[in-house]
């Protein structure tokens, strides 16, 4: 219980910081919207098989926006040299990892919710009937991405070429999340029940579990002042 | 010559003989495949290359785990050596696979689960090597490498499953490669698997020793610059 209080303290610290500066989330959101719009240009409007393409656009937007947020999540700590304080705090380093993962998750969820609404308007899709399905796929796919992303962001936070290396290292790892999320979203957009894609949902849940454990176990090795 | 030098030399000779035998068996001993013809000979190299790719990346994983447990830099050296060899071999898998696919399926590339998994794997370990060049601190580099090696290898089965399901949801243009192998072909395949494993061990030994020598050279350089 104590442990989770510490985790939450770190998350709340990040959320408070973001509430005051309002830097990261708006930038992520604008970027996500731009990706959706840009991708829209590369396909003919009213294309026959837009159902196949739209879930992909949505997830590319989320992953790119998420990447921006992840890259910043430790950069800030290094620039302000607050990472030393965090590491000296009397908590297990895995608590820092979980706290950071949670705050990154909250940021990305905010971006995703607003993007989905905008997406519904742009692509003329009535998203209200399919909101529960979308909530499930966002709720299952995002934690896995953010869990492995936070671990990799910590690794890349103070190495050379980090802006390039973070996506290069992270994208191949999250391929399963991307495939599963696109599949489920496509099925949800076509109004099919979630039971049709239960295999994919299990895969996402397994991915989330595995990479949260990997992150908790290995984070202390990659965090550095 | 030290004992280890002799061992490496003998292993080199053995590897040379084994690979020669595999070449003989692949090109002369085995019959020509009826439908695919000569291009099927790639099979005797393609499969062993893929096996070595996976084996090499497993050793990267193992080296990473052992490094994190013991903190001894020699495990990092082992992991990195294996990663380099793994990338070379998986590159060859992709190239030989492409050549074979062009002849057998009339396309250079198909999003087959095995091919695609290999490609993702290749990307993960190319990233691993790029990362190593971007970190100068030896200890930090070893730690990051270990974590990437572990996360990458854990990811492999999930990637494979995801890609297999992803493909089966689409109409499959090309179904399983399933082929009955003649006994002589099977023998040739096993000989090839064995000799490529020998080659891997031989290359790994050389690369690990090179890494150790590089570490020593680095230390001497630092000691010298202290004295100057």
pLDDT (tens digit per residue) in B71-103:
999 999 999 999 999 999 999 999 998 888 888
Number of structural domains in chain B: 1
Q: Is residue B67 over pLDDT 80?
A: yes
Domain coverage including residue B199: 3-227
Tokens of A169: 């290292």
Position B174 scores a pLDDT of 44
Check CB contact of B159 with chain A, cutoff 8 Å.
Answer: yes
Mutation for B interface: A141, A157, A175, A212, most B CBs within 10 A: A175
Instruction: Choose the closest CB to B144 out of A211, A214, A222.
Output: A222
SS (H, E, C) A150-187: HHHHHHHCCCCCHHHHHHHHHHHHCHHHHHHHHHHHHH
- The residue of chain A nearest to residue B159, with distances taken between CA atoms, is A176
Q: Which of A185, A207, A202, A198 is nearest to A135 (CA)?
A: A185
Interchain contact, B120 vs A175, CB within 8 Å = yes
Check CB contact of B147 with chain A, cutoff 8 Å.
Answer: yes
pLDDT band of B18, cuts 50, 70, 90: very high
Position B219 scores a pLDDT of 86
Position A181 scores a pLDDT of 94
Check CB contact of B87 with chain A, cutoff 8 Å.
Answer: no
Interchain contact, B162 vs A180, CB within 8 Å = yes
Instruction: Choose the closest CB to A160 out of B134, B158, B161.
Output: B134
For residue range B96-150, list pLDDT tens digits in order.
988 888 887 888 888 878 888 899 999 999 999 999 989 988 899 999 999 999 9
Position B168 scores a pLDDT of 59
Closest Cα of chain B to A83: distance in Å? 16
* Residue B147 DSSP one-character state: H
Please report residues of B whose CB lies closer than 8 A to that of A187. none
Instruction: Choose the closest CB to B151 out of A171, A173, A206.
Output: A173
Tokens of B107: 């396309």
Residue A165: phi, psi to the nearest 5? -70, -35
Interchain contact, B127 vs A211, CB within 8 Å = no
| HSE-up of residue B110 (Cα within 13 Å, Cβ side) | 22
Averaged pLDDT for residues B149-162: 90
Instruction: Choose the closest CB to A222 out of B124, B127, B143.
Output: B143
In whole angstroms, how far apart are CA A175 and each of A207, B5, B171? Answer: 11, 44, 21
Question: Using CA of residue B120, residue B158, residue B85, residue B208, what is the dihedral sign?
Answer: positive
Tokens of A51: 């159902």
Check CB contact of A160 with chain B, cutoff 8 Å.
Answer: yes
Tokens of B80: 């990195």
Q: Which of A11, A7, A144 is nearest to A73 (CA)?
A: A11
Kindly report the CA angle at B122 between B173 and B55, in degrees rounded to 5?
100
- The residue of chain A nearest to residue B140, with distances taken between CA atoms, is A222
Position B171 scores a pLDDT of 44
Interchain contact, B154 vs A199, CB within 8 Å = no
Check CB contact of A52 with chain B, cutoff 8 Å.
Answer: no
Whole-structure pTM value: 0.89
For residue range B158-180, list pLDDT tens digits in order.
988 888 887 655 444 444 454 55
For residue range A166-206, list pLDDT tens digits in order.
999 999 999 999 999 999 999 898 888 888 888 899 999 99
Instruction: Choose the closest CB to B147 out of A183, A203, A218.
Output: A218
Interhelix angle A24-41/A50-79, rounded to 10 degrees, is: 150
Please report residues of A whose CB lies closer than 8 A to that of B127. 165, 168-169, 172
Averaged pLDDT for residues B59-77: 94
Q: Is residue A45 over pLDDT 70?
A: no
Q: Is residue B37 over pLDDT 80?
A: no
Please report residues of B whose CB lies closer than 8 A to that of A171. 123
Question: Using CA of residue B12, residue B16, residue B19, residue B21, what is the dihedral sign?
Answer: negative
Instruction: Choose the closest CB to B134 out of A165, A173, A183.
Output: A165
Interhelix angle B73-104/B43-70, rounded to 10 degrees, is: 160
DSSP per-residue codes, A51-64: HHHHHHHHHHHHHH
Give me the residues of B, 162-201, that contact A with CB < 8 A: 162-163, 165-166, 169
In whole angstroms, how far apart are CA B61 and each of A73, A149, A189, B146? Answer: 27, 19, 39, 7
pLDDT band of A79, cuts 50, 70, 90: confident
Position A125 scores a pLDDT of 82
Average pLDDT, chain B: 87
CB B169: neighbour CB atoms within 10 A?
Answer: 12
Check CB contact of A175 with chain B, cutoff 8 Å.
Answer: yes
Please report residues of B whose CB lies closer than 8 A to that of A212. none
Please report residues of A whose CB lies closer than 8 A to that of B150. 214, 218
Q: Which of A154, A147, A155, A168 is nearest to A210 (CA)?
A: A147
């Amino acid at each position: 219980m104590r442990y989770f209080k510490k985790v939450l303290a770190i998350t709340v610290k990040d959320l408070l910081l973001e509430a005051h500066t309002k830097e990261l989330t708006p930038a992520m959101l604008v970027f996500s919207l731009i990706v959706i719009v840009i991708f829209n240009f590369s396909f003919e409007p009213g294309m026959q098989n837009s159902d196949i393409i739209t879930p992909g656009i949505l997830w590319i937007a989320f992953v790119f926006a998420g990447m921006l947020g992840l890259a910043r999540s430790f950069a800030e700590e290094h620039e302000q040299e607050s990472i030393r304080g965090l590491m000296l705090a009397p908590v297990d380093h895995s608590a820092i990892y979980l706290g950071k993962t949670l705050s990154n998750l909250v940021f990305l969820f905010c971006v995703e919710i607003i993007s989905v609404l905008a997406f519904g308007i742009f692509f003329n899709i009535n998203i209200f009937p399919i909101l529960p399905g979308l909530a499930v796929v966002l709720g299952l796919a995002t934690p896995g991405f953010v869990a492995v992303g936070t671990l990799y962001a910590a690794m890349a936070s103070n190495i050379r070429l980090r802006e390039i290396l973070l996506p290069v290292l992270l994208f191949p790892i999250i391929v399963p999340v991307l495939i599963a999320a696109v599949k489920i979203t496509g099925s949800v957009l076509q109004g099919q029940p979630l039971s049709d894609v239960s295999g994919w949902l299990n895969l996402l849940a397994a991915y989330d579990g595995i990479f949260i454990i990997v992150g908790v176990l290995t984070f202390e090795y990659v965090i550095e002042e | 010559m030290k004992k280890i030098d002799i061992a490496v030399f003998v292993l080199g000779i053995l590897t040379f003989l084994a690979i020669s035998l595999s070449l003989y068996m692949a090109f002369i001993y085995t019959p020509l495949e009826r439908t695919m013809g000569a291009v099927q000979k790639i099979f005797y190299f393609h499969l062993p290359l893929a096996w070595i790719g996976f084996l090499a990346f497993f050793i990267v994983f193992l080296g990473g785990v052992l490094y994190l447990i013991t903190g001894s830099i020699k495990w990092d050296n082992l992991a990195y050596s294996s990663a380099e060899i793994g990338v070379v071999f998986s590159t060859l898998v992709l190239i030989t696979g492409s050549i074979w696919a062009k002849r057998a399926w009339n396309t250079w590339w198909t999003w087959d689960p095995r091919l695609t998994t290999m490609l993702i794997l290749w990307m993960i370990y190319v990233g691993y090597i790029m990362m190593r060049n971007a970190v100068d601190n030896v200890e930090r580099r070893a730690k990051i490498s270990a974590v990437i090696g572990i996360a990458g290898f854990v990811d492999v089965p999930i990637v494979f499953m995801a890609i297999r399901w992803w493909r089966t949801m689409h109409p499959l243009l090309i179904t399983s490669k399933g082929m009955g192998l003649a006994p002589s072909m099977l023998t040739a395949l096993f000989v090839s698997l064995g000799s490529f494993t020998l080659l891997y061990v031989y290359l790994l030994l050389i690369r690990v020793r090179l890494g150790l020598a590089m570490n020593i050279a680095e230390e001497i350089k630092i000691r010298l610059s202290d004295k100057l």
